[in-house]
Structure 1
Amino acid sequence: MLAAHRLFPAPLAVFQEIWMLGTERYLFADLGKTLGRAALAFVAAMTIGVLIGGALGRARTLDKLFSSWILIGLNVPAIVVAIACYIWLGLSEFALILAVTINKAPLVAVTMREGVRALDAGLSELALAYRVPFWRRIRLFVVPQLMPFVLTAARTGLSLIWKIVLVFEVLGSDGGVGFRIGVYFQNFDITGILAYTLTFMAVVIAFEYLVMRPLEQRILGWRRA
């Protein structure tokens, strides 16, 4: 507030910008696009990562064959994947979501692979000894052991997806928080950039406290009992 300037806007100016953008509905439209893209990429990456990680964790041969590809997927720069997808598929919604999924899935796969490897063999033997049906064994013995790893992958993945989606929107999209921040950057409008940033951070924090933490408490509450 003491250094109020065009390049260092005061908090009041930023909140006024948020109010103006909200009344003009640009803000909510851009947030909706970004959150929709993040949700689709998150579901796709979690599904693919869980399946790949489960397969690699169960079969050592598959892990030896494909672990190098997982390592490559973890270390290829996200910007390279985005540019390649945009060149191959055009500046489309599908290209953006696919690029985010490719960047996120290897991290989920690695986490789930370690989770499958950490399964308690003694519990599996106990279930077999008592002839517990397959799906009941999965629900009562396997899923509870894997849920901490699933939640870890989900939380770390979300923290990455939020940021990656914004970067990819700056590169090429027809709207979204990242796209709008890119427009403000071209106009050197730091007030608009901070307005969108604060609003997006508020949404992310609200999701963490209203969705992720209650879900974690509900699923893993038995560990604290």
Structure 2
Amino acid sequence: MAAPDRSPFRAVWPALGLALLAGGWALVHATAGPFVLPSLVDTGRALGRVVTSGAAVSALAVTLVHAIGGAGLGTLIGFALGLVGGTARPLGGLLAAPITAILGVPPVAWIVLAFLWFGTGLVAPLFTVTITAFPIVFAATLQGMRARDPGLAEMATVFRLPARTRFFRLLLPELAVHVAPALSTAFAISWKVALTAEVLGDGSGIGGAFATARAPLDLAEAMAWIVLVVVFLLVSDGLVLGPLRRWIAGHREGTAKETSPAPTCVGIGAIREEI
């Protein structure tokens, strides 16, 4: 397996992508005018005002509770149910149908129902984000459980590995390959759902600030809040899911060095360490 790219030029392509996005923004502004898309300069000034006034910090704190809290609860519930369903296949089949139905319900419908059930306080956005995120993690975990290498379980039984070692050194590395992409998707969707709930709810958080800026048609400030959301999403994704991605990459690289290229045997190094 090829080593990960540690070249100093690895950031060139992302930088070029951002430059292309900025160029497209400027082109749309020049073509359609400020009533469609404000200029980068005006948006930057509005962003500076939002940050220096302290409004960004208070709004971010509320949205973080809604988005990260709901995503965390959804991940725990989805992962636990996926483990149970993958261990007991009949139970997995029993859970799959209703959870798929839950996944098919539009998030805006859950938002409206949550407002009717819990009001427009803290619980409604948390519930909406949780019930939107957990089916995604459940499906990935269930698929990972069903795709496990049976040889690993057999070797763990033969060598009488403790349950803790089986879970952390054998099962988790196998599941992480399936669950990590689902976590990225659930994480991004959680931000969208949280912001939508804030716009339609009590006007708290970044969603509420965006709705306030939209009312007088202050497009520059509205776009500034959108830019903040994107920045917060990228930073939080890197802080929360970045270590998981690096762990998976390191585990794959270590496994490739310890095993022959033909069979894929995740975690064989853990068994060697235990016997």
TM-score (norm 2): 0.77
Please state how far the C-alpha of 1:120 moved relative to its aligned partner. 0.9
Measured in 2, the distance between the counterparts of 1:220 and 1:171 equals 40
Tell me the residue number matched to 2:218: 189
Tell me the residue number matched to 2:83: 54
8 Å contact from structure 1 (residues 93, 173) kept in 2: no
8 Å contact from structure 2 (residues 66, 129) kept in 1: no
In structure 1, runs of 5+ residues without a counterpart are: none
The answer to whether residue 88 in structure 2 is matched with residue 23 in structure 1 is: no
Which structure exhibits the higher relative contact order, with contacts defined as CA atoms closer than 8 Å and separated by 6 or more residues?
1
Tell me the residue number matched to 1:124: 153
Q: Deviations over 1:153-212 (max 9, x none)?
A: 211111111111111111103411111111222222211110101111122222344553
Q: How many residues align?
A: 225
Please state how far the C-alpha of 1:149 moved relative to its aligned partner. 2.2
Moved beyond 4 Å, runs of 4+: none
SS at 2:241 equivalent: helix
Match of 2:38 among 6, 9, 14: 9
8 Å contact from structure 1 (residues 148, 220) kept in 2: no
SS at 1:92 equivalent: coil
- Bigger-Rg structure (1/2): 2
SS at 1:224 equivalent: helix
8 Å contact from structure 2 (residues 46, 221) kept in 1: yes
Tell me the residue number matched to 2:122: 93
Please state how far the C-alpha of 1:73 moved relative to its aligned partner. 0.9
Distance 1:158 1:198, change over 3 A: same
Measured in 2, the distance between the counterparts of 1:6 and 1:75 equals 36
Q: Deviations over 1:23-79 (max 9, x none)?
A: 211122112211222111111000000011111112122123222101101101111
The answer to whether residue 146 in structure 2 is matched with residue 145 in structure 1 is: no
Q: Which has the higher mean CA deviation after the structures are superposed, 203-212 or 173-182? A: 203-212
In structure 2, runs of 5+ residues without a counterpart are: 1-25, 255-275
The answer to whether residue 126 in structure 2 is matched with residue 113 in structure 1 is: no
Q: Which has the higher mean CA deviation after the structures are superposed, 110-119 or 196-205? A: 196-205
Match of 2:103 among 74, 87, 91: 74
Please state how far the C-alpha of 1:128 moved relative to its aligned partner. 0.6
8 Å contact from structure 2 (residues 85, 92) kept in 1: yes
Letter in 1 for 2:135: P
Tell me the residue number matched to 1:165: 194
Please state how far the C-alpha of 1:214 moved relative to its aligned partner. 4.0
Letter in 2 for 1:100: V
Distance 1:61 1:101, change over 3 A: same
8 Å contact from structure 1 (residues 108, 153) kept in 2: yes
SS at 2:38 equivalent: coil
TM-score (norm 1): 0.93
Measured in 2, the distance between the counterparts of 1:68 and 1:169 equals 30
